[in-house]
Structure 1
Amino acid sequence: MGKNLQSGGRLRPVDLAREHGLSTQAIRNYEEAGILPAAGRTPHGYRTYTALHAAALRTFLALVPGHGHRTATSIMRAVNQGSTEEAFRLIDESHAGLLDDRRTLQAVESALRDLEPGAETAPAATSGPGPGPGPGGMFVGPLARRLGIRPATLRKWEHAGLVRPRRDPRTGYRVYDEADVRDARLARQLRRGGYPLEQIAPLIAHVRAAGGLEPLAAALSDWHGRLSARGRAMLAGAAELEAYLRELPENG
């Protein structure tokens, strides 16, 4: 890489700030947070930085897109304190989180593929206790049989927010409409994939917000794109961090 970064001349806070479109106050804040090594001081008490500080700033800004501001801050603080193992642990946790997100996305896509074409719409079902639920609705018993689960499971899913049946005004029985049947089918597939209810609930909320399974395709494509972008950002951040580690005093 040529001469060691530490051998560069003095830099003012404004020199670091201008390169990245930041304020000088942001530079001072980064130093106080441990993102940058401690600055030198002139006889008059003004901060002075070196090319090493510039490299630390570039590394931090490269880490943020892949790891987030908080984790990137913790990584840089650990590195600057000489705790590289802690920094590596934080990086490993971010990669594990990305892998979990990928697996969740795969589970959702697998669950959607396993749903029968056109099965979002449930036929009217009048079998069950009391009068029928009306067009497009199902009572808990028929729906449980259709899904191959127990009625108690549906009630548990309701408590967890996975399904939101209405109550028949005449009988008080739960009535599951087309959207509830869709959500119950998706929940069943995800449960078969080993996902706990607390992870399934936000996914079903996403389906509801998208307006069903069909509009969700665009959201899944966007999800893929965001995960890929995060993975590439992690690679870019790793490259900057490796260069910075080679220039630290203990490694120089």
Structure 2
Amino acid sequence: MKFLLAFSLLAAVAPNSSSPGPDKVVYQSADLTITQVAPNSYVHTSFLQTETFGKVPCNGLVVRSGAETVVFDTPTGDKESGELIAWITGELHCRVKAVVPTHFHEDCVGGLPEFQRHNIPSYAHKKTIAYARQHKFNVPQHAFTRRLALRVGTAKVYTTFFGEGHTRDNVVGYFPTDEVLFGGCLIKELQAGKGNLADANVSAWPATVARVKQAYPRLQVVVPGHGAVGGPSLLDYTIQLFQQP
């Protein structure tokens, strides 16, 4: 089975020298790992078997305030998504208020049916919905154009389209409470290659990430779509990577 994906060949998620602090694994199974990266922010990592790159780790983010959470990107399948939802409800004692895929590829929308079975609404950029439908991937329910603000508990979490890069619909998630950015596949882990550029706008990519950096000058934690969590240096690395000829 062929998947329309973009990622670099990389190892499983692990702390690196750019990380702002030690990360804590709070849940682990054969299919899903959940790592706390800030007081109210958790990275979920699941795996996708691909023909080209083998078994690839794929990151998403859970942010929490009070008794509510918002999830960025689903785990790669329904089973893994069910595990994540069960962990949020059983261990965090929270409900999932929404799930937000950050672009249309399978590593972002693969578990949408499980979220829908739990009556959890999904939100995505209007282009993400159009491209997912076009490529016969799982389709998010609710569209936005440039920016989405969701209340989670007593806080807010923001999803913004800053421009094209990894795909023409890629958005990023920002949680001011923890100064955490979920960059998704727009942002590369340190030392990563450029990955699959099938749906990319390479010429626009550096300027898009530069706008992200300018918008969030106080970032502490940056979560890429694949690979190790770090700090703002991941933005600089991504800009430099795609400025190269």
Q: Which has the higher helix share?
A: 1
**Normalised by the size of structure 1, how large is the TM-score?**
0.25
Greater Cα radius of gyration, structure 1 or 2: 1
**Whose strand fraction is larger, Structure 1's or Structure 2's?**
2
